[in-house]
Chains A and B, each alone.
Chain A
Amino acid sequence: MQTAVIVFPASNCDRDAAVALETHTGKAPHMIWHKDTSIPDDVRFVVVPGGFSYGDYLRSGAIAAQSPVIKDLKQKAEAGLPVLGICNGFQILTEAGMLPGALMRNAGQKFVCKISRLRLANAQTRFTKLYDAKHEIDIPVAHHDGNYFADDDTLRRIEGSGQVVFRYVDNPNGSRGDIAGIINQAGNVLGMMPHPERAIDPLHGGTDGSNIFKSILGSL
């Protein structure tokens, strides 16, 4: 199955994402440069990877969200293409308006880099259906701007419609509702601060991230 990773200047988890995709599909993903104007039609799943696109200038993800390729990604996602945004990828998807809310500076001011324990707030999505809803999972976080914010109305709406997918057991960044990951209303665009691509091999210290890739790829 053909997948793709979008690469921005200063993405730094693009190759980890590529390894995760190749591990789960047996096929190397297309690496799509942000200046490209379109995503090839054979691509069935796209990862927007972590990193520090454009040096986090202006706001994390703000400049990358204006990239030519994002315009096409947005259109294809609206037509149903599954997209996973990880860390900076999550920031980019919120800045592009593909997911609600925004990611602000961590409440504790510090960059947090550690294993985070997550609860499955929704194990019925295309990205999480292989998880046991009662099970907590360990996925690493590494970010400075992971403090999820949405206004009260938006928060009520996404909580009410099952769009909150992951919550921190021990909130590392001040996110409202302990939110670590959310999905769009249509259920095909997931954004999360923790890095599932860094938890797919026993040598990573755990493989709890693997089911995200297996779930979404298995749904295609």
Chain B
Amino acid sequence: MIARVYVGLKPGVLDPQGRTIASSLNDLGFEEVQDATQGKVIELKLANGERDLVKARVKEMCEKLLANTVIESYRIELDETEE
């Protein structure tokens, strides 16, 4: 099973990288871009297991290491079609 963890800055936390990306896109002529946020995706290959248990374990990984919850929030997606 594959777990995808999306980690990004919490709303309200200034994202200088996102802001730079947005202004660079504006400079390239993409005036419709109003804001950008940058985060990361961490893909975990996991042993198959019961969905709720797997999700609880991945949540624990996020809290302990993958995200710094002082500044970041995270979202977990499980994909059982992939081995």
Residues of A within 8 A of B (CB): 58-59, 62-63, 66, 94-95, 100-102, 104-109, 147, 149-151, 174
The majority secondary structure among interface residues of chain A is loop
CA distance A25 to B14 in the complex (A): 42
The majority secondary structure among interface residues of chain B is helix
The residues of A that contact B17 with a CB separation of less than 8 Å are 105, 109
Contact B16 A102 (CB under 8 A): no
CA distance A104 to B71 in the complex (A): 8
Instruction: Give 11 new A-B contacts, CB below 8 A, not counting A63-B65, A104-B16.
Output: A66-B64, A94-B70, A102-B68, A102-B70, A104-B13, A104-B14, A109-B16, A109-B17, A149-B13, A149-B70, A149-B71
Contact A58 B66 (CB under 8 A): yes
A62 and B65 in contact (CB under 8 A), knowing A149-B71, A150-B70? yes
Q: Does B20 contact A (CB under 8 A)?
A: yes
Contact B16 A108 (CB under 8 A): yes
CA distance A149 to B12 in the complex (A): 11
Contact A174 B68 (CB under 8 A): no
The residues of B that contact A104 with a CB separation of less than 8 Å are 13-14, 16, 71
The residues of A that contact B66 with a CB separation of less than 8 Å are 58
Most buried by A among B17, B64, B70: B70
CA distance A101 to B66 in the complex (A): 17
Contact A174 B70 (CB under 8 A): no
Contact A174 B14 (CB under 8 A): yes
Contact B68 A109 (CB under 8 A): no
The residues of A that contact B71 with a CB separation of less than 8 Å are 102, 104, 149
Contact A95 B68 (CB under 8 A): yes
CA distance A109 to B14 in the complex (A): 12
Q: Which of B38-70 contact A (CB under 8 A)?
A: 64-66, 68, 70
Q: Which residue of A lies closest to B16 (CB)?
A: A107
The residues of B that contact A150 with a CB separation of less than 8 Å are 70
The residues of A that contact B65 with a CB separation of less than 8 Å are 58, 62-63, 66
Option from B13, B16, B68, B70 in Cβ contact (under 8 Å) with A106: B16
The minimal Cβ–Cβ distance linking B2 to chain A, given in whole angstroms, is 19
